[in-house]
Amino acid sequence: MTDHLTVVRHPLVQHKLTLMRDKHTSTAVFRQLLREISQLLAYEITDNLPMTSRRIETPLCAMDAPVLDGRKLALVSILRAGNGLLDGILELVPSARVGFIGLYRDEETLEPVQYYCKLPQQLDERLVIAVDPMLATGNSSAAAVDLLKAAGATNIRFLCLLAAPEGVRRMEEAHPDVPIVTAALDDRLNEVGYIVPGLGDAGDRMFGTQ
């Protein structure tokens, strides 16, 4: 679509995503797949992090070896479905700082309503990765990024599992400076704001609710 959007077409990502889309996939397997896919997406979204070097000694000699530079990453989960992505990414980046933004979607207006916000300190000095599996209308994602910017974040990336063209457009208009990484760009939203073909309600599928 645009440079603003990266679709990760790696075969492992696409295979796992197909299993997740299948309505016959159990809650336990869905959750496990989400954990696995989140790590593959995190690998992509953390590409080109700033690096420095540290003097270490291998058993054979001293060397200047590459390490991550700067402050720890901030991962911000957009509740509640964001937590499914968060768990896997934290395994990969265990020292990341973690924030939560609680937004629910008003089922009539489809507009986001905030009910919780707790963010790490010094957001202005960190790469902030906001995570939410479904970029649907883009309204809650754009609202979450508004909150992050209001809290000082200037370097923000957005990680999702599935995106709808409507959501990508909304984010591009509201936050052209925030790159999006996703496993697939689906066809459209339906009349009640679900991504089609999608995978249904990500929160319900991962937590076994209805």
Which residues of this chain interact with ligand URA, rule CB under 6 A?
A: 81, 134, 136, 193-195, 198, 201-203
Secondary structure tally for the chain: helices H, strands E: 6, 14
Question: Which is nearer to ligand URA, 47 or 108 (by Cβ)?
Answer: 108
Question: Which is nearer to ligand URA, 100 or 194 (by Cβ)?
Answer: 194
201 is catalytic: yes
What minimum distance in Å lies between the beta carbon of 4 and ligand URA? 20
Helix (H, G, I), strand (E, B) or coil at 209: coil
What minimum distance in Å lies between the beta carbon of 154 and ligand URA? 28
**Which of the following is catalytic: 71, 80, 105, 169?**
105
177 is catalytic: no
What minimum distance in Å lies between the beta carbon of 35 and ligand URA? 17
**Which of the following is catalytic: 27, 187, 204, 209?**
204
Q: Are residues 110 and 133 in contact, defined by beta-carbon separation less than 8 angstroms?
A: no
Burial grade of 77 (CB within 10 A; 0-12, 13-18, 19 or more): buried
Question: Which is nearer to ligand URA, 165 or 203 (by Cβ)?
Answer: 203
Q: Are residues 5 and 170 in contact, defined by beta-carbon separation less than 8 angstroms?
A: no
154 is catalytic: no
71: enclosing H helix or E strand? none
124 is catalytic: no
Rounded CA gap, 132 and 144, in Å?
10
Catalytic residues: 105, 109, 201, 204
